[in-house]
């Protein structure tokens, strides 16, 4: 079954686009077909970095009538049998929910045997945890939920571990938990972003020394292992 993978987190600065970029790198490395979309108009780094390498398309999610049909390509691409990866902007839920409700997207997806996978990237702050709980209320079991614990943003996960009610709810809803690794080498990571390089091009770039290239290899190995172990990309 084709699927639409939504990479979000509602908060800005939690690393959602970095996770999405890593997921694109995973598909390129494993030679798995996918169609990426960047819906973040204010900072479209997925489009900027992977626009040519992975043929990233632009999508617009809005509650405005002028953009009523602007997101339809996301669903029609999946209905054509493609796996779709979507980088969402911060605070995307109002516009995303409007699009889904206004056009009966879940019903159309069900008719076309398209599944939705919601990747919630979190820094485990109190507001992030509350936003995740709201997302579970909003989408319930219409999507498969993936909680991405971004270890590149924090080492403190007490608010998640100590929330027994949320942990129980995640188990009941079969939420997938992914421990996304920290990228070792902060300066290298900043240089990757500044040069707008796909990860595979870093390994061939003279701008990085042996340590920089190894940092990328090590990070991708750990991240890809998390994707493999979760089997989230095997479900569709």
Q: What is the pLDDT of residues 179-205, one digit of tens each?
A: 999 999 999 999 999 999 999 999 999
Burial of 75 (0-12, 13-18, 19+ CB in 10 A): buried
H or E element at residue 144: strand 144-150
Q: Which structural domain, as residue segments, surrounds residue 121? A: 3-182
207 within a domain of the structure (yes/no) = no
CATH number at residue 76: 3.40.50.300
Q: Give the pTM.
A: 0.95
User: In total, how many domains does the chain have?
Assistant: 1
Q: What is the 3-state secondary structure (H, E, C) of 219-233?
A: HHHHHHHHHHHHCCC
DSSP code for 66:
G
Convert the pLDDT of each residue in 108-135 to its tens digit: 999 999 999 999 999 999 999 999 999 9
228 within a domain of the structure (yes/no) = no
Residue 9 predicted with pLDDT over 70: yes
26 within a domain of the structure (yes/no) = yes
79 within a domain of the structure (yes/no) = yes
Q: Rounded to whole angstroms, how far apart are CA atoms 113 and 19?
A: 26
16 within a domain of the structure (yes/no) = yes
pLDDT of residue 30: 95
The two beta strands, 3-8 and 115-122, are parallel
221 within a domain of the structure (yes/no) = no
191 within a domain of the structure (yes/no) = no
Convert the pLDDT of each residue in 31-82 to its tens digit: 999 999 999 988 899 999 999 999 999 998 887 766 767 799 999 999 999 9
pLDDT of residue 169: 96
210 within a domain of the structure (yes/no) = no
Half-sphere exposure of 125 (CA within 13 A, CB side): 12
């Amino acid at each position: 079954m084709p699927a639409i993978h939504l990479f979000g987190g509602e908060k800005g600065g939690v690393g959602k686009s970095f996770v999405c970029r890593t997921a694109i790198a995973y598909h390129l490395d494993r030679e798995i077909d996918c169609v990426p979309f960047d819906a973040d108009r204010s900072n479209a780094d997925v489009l900027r970095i992977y626009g040519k390498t992975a043929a990233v398309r632009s999508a617009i999610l809005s509650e405005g009538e002028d953009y009523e049909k602007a997101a339809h390509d996301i669903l029609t691409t999946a209905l054509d049998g493609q796996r779709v990866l979507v980088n969402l902007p911060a605070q995307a839920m109002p516009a995303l929910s409007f699009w889904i409700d206004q056009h009966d997207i879940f019903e159309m997806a069900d008719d076309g045997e398209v599944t939705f996978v919601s990747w919630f990237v979190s820094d485990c702050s109190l507001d992030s945890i509350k936003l995740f709980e709201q997302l579970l209320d909003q989408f319930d079991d219409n999507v498969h939920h993936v909680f991405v614990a971004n270890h590149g943003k924090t080492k403190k996960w007490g608010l998640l571990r100590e929330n027994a009610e949320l942990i129980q709810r995640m188990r009941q809803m079969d939420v997938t938990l992914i421990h996304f690794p920290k990228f070792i080498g902060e300066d290298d990571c900043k240089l990757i972003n500044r040069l707008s390089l796909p990860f595979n091009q870093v390994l061939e770039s003279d701008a990085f020394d042996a340590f920089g290239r190894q940092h990328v290899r090590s990070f991708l190995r750990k991240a890809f292992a998390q994707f493999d172990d979760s089997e989230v990309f095997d479900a569709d």
